[in-house]
A and B are shown apart, each in its own frame.
Chain A
Amino acid sequence: MSDVELTPDEVRHVASLARLGLDDVEVERLGRELTSILGHVNTIAQLPIADVPPTKHANPHGDALRSDVARSGAPRQEALANAPDPTAEGFRVPPIGA
């Protein structure tokens, strides 16, 4: 994996995966910036370290589990309080696949 150069179509594909609507100016700029950043990141892609186990996180103690006791969550009114378009019972969204 040597130098990567992201084409505008690749940038649009990644943006679509990330649910980011980008305009053409952003697509052009991000193509340039990502190419430069990934060029630096590629310095590790070549390292012959396939036998090294990956580290996911650094806590040597592993997960801290609490006892499995049911407790109530936030009251509905509070949970809905910050929603841009709440109903009395839930979150309203625009039609799916209109």
Chain B
Amino acid sequence: MAIDVIGLTAERAAAMLRGGECTAEELAQAYLDRIAAVDGEIHSYLHVDAERTRADARAQDAAGGDPLAGVPIAYKDLLSTRGVPTTAGSRILEGFVPIEDADVVRWGNEAGLVSLGKTNLDEFAMGSSTEHSAYGPTRNPWDPARVPGGSSGGSAAVVAAGCAPWALGTDTGGSIRQPAAFCGLVGLMPTYGSVSRFGVVAFACSLEQVGPMALTVRDAALLQQVIARDTDRDATCTGPRAPIEVPEPGRLDGVTFGVPRAELEEGVEEGVRARFDESLRIAEALGARLVDVELPHARHGLAAYYVIAPAEASANLSRFDGVRYGLRVDAPDVRAMYEATRDAGFGAEVKRRIMIGTYALSAGYHDAYYVQAQRVRTLIRRDFDAAFGDVDAILLPTAPTVAFPIGARLDDPLAMYANDIFTLPVNLAGIPALSVPNGLSEGLPTGLQIIGPAHSENLLLRLGAAFEAEHGFDPVPPAMRRAS
């Protein structure tokens, strides 16, 4: 039986498996065939092992039972996978084979999910376009001349191209939400501390979370159910406060949305702004109330983020020293070996961030940069706390632009960083946000970002399902349907 995997949701795939319409092995094979057909152009996977995937699928056919057993998935290559290469998009980890699974991968395995492979990303998740991967850029399935966003651009592209029903990404400053927006998908950045980071190659520990990227809000909720768990292997993880619920679309009576209008005055593309305004009208038509809110310190988020994230990165990446794993460049003494290894193994953006972070943490600058940025972080948290005293959730575009052309921002780091202007204050505050498809501008997807207080995932998913139902967005890129 030929299975059409284009636009196939994980929920529907699970129903097909449970209803005996197909086996897990047939389903996995359909995705492997799809990958073989289109991923040469899109380059969303860094590692696919068809034999292993088929064997895992057969094991699920034999065991069966669990609701999601046999449903395929793709993992961002920042997530450690036991016995399967994990590169973090970096030359310095080429050939590295983890000896343990990340907690989120272990839980995916326990739920019976079948891995199709590891997806491309900006090196060590540092970037907004997936162009900073040491293994070459991923292309946007909506327009191969454009970026898929980043850093979880591979995870977004696999789902948009029909090369996996869903995927896990990580979000440090927008790295789930912005690629979800650029590729017409749903992406959830969970509350800080609700998902384990054990086995996630560390970039900025105080900011990053693992989260789902999917075709529908319901799929995102189903995958969040799998990964939102307490663990004893991440001291910052306390799990979700309440079980994640799979939402039904409904009206928005009684819901109050905050709209930070001052944030929208500059730098937002006209088409993105028009689609956003349309969603505000949809919210009102569904019975919600809109009020203006102010986030007076959000405009300092970019500067604070580009101190805190690089500072944490410079410390985290000191472990790549050519001794225990990864690349080594030989040299006559150990210090020269460190320097030669790190010079050869890290790409330009990673070096940039290590340099910023090291500078900001160095003697004489620590208080002026790092502690000052942490103070701004407190002010941004207070802004959100104050706003959530008056509103249930805040609406913003996910990104100020649609997907930009490959190469367009590569030589201008500040312009690249500015694409995360609406997402990174959320990471600084440690609160959850959901990006849902918000219609097309110039034929390219835009995203609506719904931001809520800590542990409001169920509310965000319910609100997202309401917008999703009204938009009736088709997440299959026209070019991908033709490619089938």
- Tell me the residues in window 202-251 of chain B with beta carbons closer than 8 Å to chain A beta carbons: 205-206, 230, 232, 234-238
In the assembled complex, the Cα of A20 lies from the Cα of B479 at a distance in Å of 43
Given A34-B355, A58-B428, also A22-B343 (CB < 8 A): yes
Cβ of A1 < 8 Å from any Cβ of B? Answer: yes
In the assembled complex, the Cα of A18 lies from the Cα of B317 at a distance in Å of 9
- Complex contacts, B379 vs chain A, CB 8 Å: 49, 52
In the assembled complex, the Cα of A89 lies from the Cα of B298 at a distance in Å of 52
- Tell me the residues in window 319-360 of chain B with beta carbons closer than 8 Å to chain A beta carbons: 321-328, 330-340, 342-343, 346, 351-352, 354-356, 358-360
In the assembled complex, the Cα of A81 lies from the Cα of B97 at a distance in Å of 9
- Complex contacts, A3 vs chain B, CB 8 Å: none
Given A47-B372, A49-B379, also A20-B236 (CB < 8 A): no
CB distance from B162 to the nearest CB of A (A): 34
In the assembled complex, the Cα of A44 lies from the Cα of B96 at a distance in Å of 39
Which range contains the number of B residues in contact with the other chain? 35 or more
Total interface residues on A, CB under 8 Å, equals: 57
- Tell me the residues in window 101-152 of chain B with beta carbons closer than 8 Å to chain A beta carbons: none
Q: Is the interface of A mostly helix, strand, loop or mixed?
A: loop
Q: Is the interface of B mostly helix, strand, loop or mixed?
A: helix
- Complex contacts, B371 vs chain A, CB 8 Å: 54
In the assembled complex, the Cα of A30 lies from the Cα of B348 at a distance in Å of 9
Contact present for B99 and A38 (CB under 8 Å): no
CB distance from B136 to the nearest CB of A (A): 21
- Complex contacts, B325 vs chain A, CB 8 Å: 82-84
Contact present for A52 and B337 (CB under 8 Å): no
Cβ of B377 < 8 Å from any Cβ of A? Answer: yes
In the assembled complex, the Cα of A78 lies from the Cα of B100 at a distance in Å of 10
Chain A-chain B contacts (Cβ-Cβ < 8 Å), number:
187
Task: Specify which of A22, A50, A56, A93 is in contact with B206 (CB 8 Å cutoff).
Answer: A56
Contact present for B342 and A40 (CB under 8 Å): no
Contact present for B99 and A54 (CB under 8 Å): no
Cβ of B31 < 8 Å from any Cβ of A? Answer: no
In the assembled complex, the Cα of A85 lies from the Cα of B326 at a distance in Å of 10
Given A15-B355, A83-B324, also A93-B334 (CB < 8 A): yes
Cβ of B378 < 8 Å from any Cβ of A? Answer: yes
In the assembled complex, the Cα of A65 lies from the Cα of B232 at a distance in Å of 7
Contact present for A58 and B376 (CB under 8 Å): no
In the assembled complex, the Cα of A38 lies from the Cα of B359 at a distance in Å of 10
Cβ of A7 < 8 Å from any Cβ of B? Answer: no
Of B234, B359, B374, B379, chain A has the most CB atoms within 10 Å of the CB of B359
| A-contact bits for B431-470, CB 8 A (1 contact / 0 none) | 1000000000000000000000010000000000000000
Contact present for A21 and B340 (CB under 8 Å): yes
Of A18, A22, A50, A61, chain B has the most CB atoms within 10 Å of the CB of A18
5 closest A-B pairs (Cβ-Cβ)?
A58-B430, A54-B374, A21-B339, A59-B193, A84-B328
A positions within 8 Å CB-CB of B: 1, 6, 11, 14-15, 17-23, 26, 30, 33-34, 36-38, 40-45, 47, 49-50, 52-61, 63-66, 74, 78-79, 81-85, 91, 93-98
User: A56-B206, A83-B323 known; 5 other A-B pairs, CB under 8 Å?
Assistant: A20-B343, A58-B430, A64-B235, A84-B325, A91-B323
B positions within 8 Å CB-CB of A: 96-97, 99-100, 192-193, 205-206, 230, 232, 234-238, 300, 302-304, 306-307, 314, 318, 321-328, 330-340, 342-343, 346, 351-352, 354-356, 358-360, 362, 368-369, 371-379, 381, 413-414, 428-431, 454
12 intermolecular pairs with C-beta atoms under 8 Å apart: A1-B368, A26-B351, A33-B413, A44-B372, A47-B300, A49-B379, A55-B375, A56-B374, A57-B236, A64-B238, A84-B322, A91-B324
